[in-house]
């Protein structure tokens, strides 16, 4: 069990290992649910983005090349094989 200290301003700092365990990184949001008997549940908040926002995420970031499914599969296989050999 990890014990945290509350500051005079009512703030708490979570240790890095706790945040890593929860999968929380800098800039992420935290969800805190208050439960009965003075308990609480803390977890990484789930992003609330939409598919519409996701659709434009990579727009304008490519080199303009259009690949077939077979070409994509080959590129993925080659990258996986290189990663398996420890190459980057």
pLDDT tens digits, one per residue of 6-54? 999 999 998 898 888 888 888 888 889 999 999 999 888 877 777 777 6
Asked if residue 30 belongs to a domain, the reply is yes
Domain that includes residue 14, residue range? 10-45
Asked if residue 61 belongs to a domain, the reply is no
Tally of structural domains, the chain: 1
Quote the CA–CA distance of 28 and 82 in Å, as a whole number: 32
- We report the CATH number of the domain holding residue 34 as 2.10.260
For 48-83, how does the pLDDT look when each residue is reduced to its tens digit (9 = 90+)? 777 777 677 767 777 778 889 999 999 999 999 888
pLDDT of residue 2: 82
Does position 88 have pLDDT exceeding 70, yes or no?
A: no
More confident residue, 7 or 87: 7
Cβ contact 45:28 at 8 Å? yes
Cβ contact 30:44 at 8 Å? yes
């Amino acid at each position: 069990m990890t014990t945290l200290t509350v500051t005079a301003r009512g703030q708490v700092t979570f240790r890095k290992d706790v945040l890593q365990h929860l999968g929380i990184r800098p800039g992420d949001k935290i969800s805190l649910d208050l439960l009965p008997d003075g308990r609480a549940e803390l977890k990484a908040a789930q992003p609330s983005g939409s598919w519409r926002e996701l659709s434009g995420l990579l727009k304008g970031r490519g080199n303009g090349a259009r690949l077939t499914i077979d070409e994509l599969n080959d590129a993925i296989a080659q990258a996986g094989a290189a990663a398996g050999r420890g190459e980057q």
